[in-house]
Amino acid sequence: MTDAAANTQVFVITGPSGVGKGTLISLLRERHPGLGLSVSATTRAPRPGEVDGVSYHFLSPEQFAAKVDAGEFVEHADYSGNRYGTLRSELERHRETGGVVLEIELQGARQIRVSMPEAHQIFIAPPSAETLRKRLVGRGTDAPEEIERRLAVAEEELAARDEFAHVVVNDDLERAAGQLDAIVSGYHPPAR
């Protein structure tokens, strides 16, 4: 299983929905242009502006199940009524790039911890539960009932932060981005 990512530093970035994982990863990749991003597969419907094959590989439930049966995922999980997973082919695509980021939820991070113990796991935490709610609402991508579902899952996710070797509190964006950069730079020197 770890073979797919041979020679590649794998960075697992997890944390509750709306905490700022995507925002921080964009900033991180500006500082580390050689760092690849694993494009996940999902059965969730695309949000406006999301592009198939770039934001996600958008699959039907049947297509997703077929890939599970074929052993094409290194991890997969159910989240808020949809399925999400990391395709082995995404790790292979970044095999030679020196580093790849997986932006995944808690159950997937736990699976990777078992199958790829050499991966670096980083938990992104909100400064408070109230801030998390405000960010999810402010992002404007999810209906109120979906936001409530995500906040319910977040309670469980936040309780897991001590499982992670690295925790970044996303309070001030620049500060948090700097801390994440420093962690990643310890394993993956930025381009000169």
How far apart, in whole angstroms, are the C-alpha atoms of residue 89 and residue 22?
Answer: 21
104 lies in the binding site for ligand ADP (CB under 6 A): no
87 binds, among ligand 5GP, ligand ADP, none (CB under 5 to 8 A by kind): none
Return the residue of 44, 95, 113, 161 that touches ligand 5GP, per CB under 6 A.
44
**Antiparallel, parallel or unpaired: β 120-125 and 166-169:** parallel
How far apart, in whole angstroms, are the C-alpha atoms of residue 81 and residue 67?
Answer: 18
Considering only residues 79 to 108 of the shown chain, the ones binding ligand 5GP according to CB under 6 A are: 79, 84-86, 103-105, 107-108
77 binds, among ligand 5GP, ligand ADP, none (CB under 5 to 8 A by kind): ligand 5GP
CB atoms within 10 A of CB 119: 18
Q: Find the length of the chain.
A: 192
- Burial class of residue 95 in the structure, from the number of CB atoms within 10 Å of its CB (0-12 exposed, 13-18 middle, 19+ buried): middle
Return the residue of 9, 38, 86, 170 that touches ligand ADP, per CB under 6 A.
170
Query: Residue 29 CB, nearest distance to ligand ADP (Å)?
Result: 13
Residues 6 or more apart whose CB falls under 8 angstroms from that of 183 comprise 120, 122, 166, 168
Considering only residues 122 to 151 of the shown chain, the ones binding ligand 5GP according to CB under 6 A are: none
Return the residue of 37, 77, 176, 177 that touches ligand 5GP, per CB under 6 A.
77
Dihedral Cα 112, 108, 88, 2, nearest 10 deg: 0
Query: Residue 37 CB, nearest distance to ligand 5GP (Å)?
Result: 11
Q: Which stretch binds ligand 5GP (CB under 6 A): 58-66, 75-83, 93-101, 180-188?
A: 75-83
Q: Bridge partners of 134?
A: none
Which residues bind to ligand ADP, rule: CB under 6 A? 17-23, 135, 138-139, 170, 173, 176
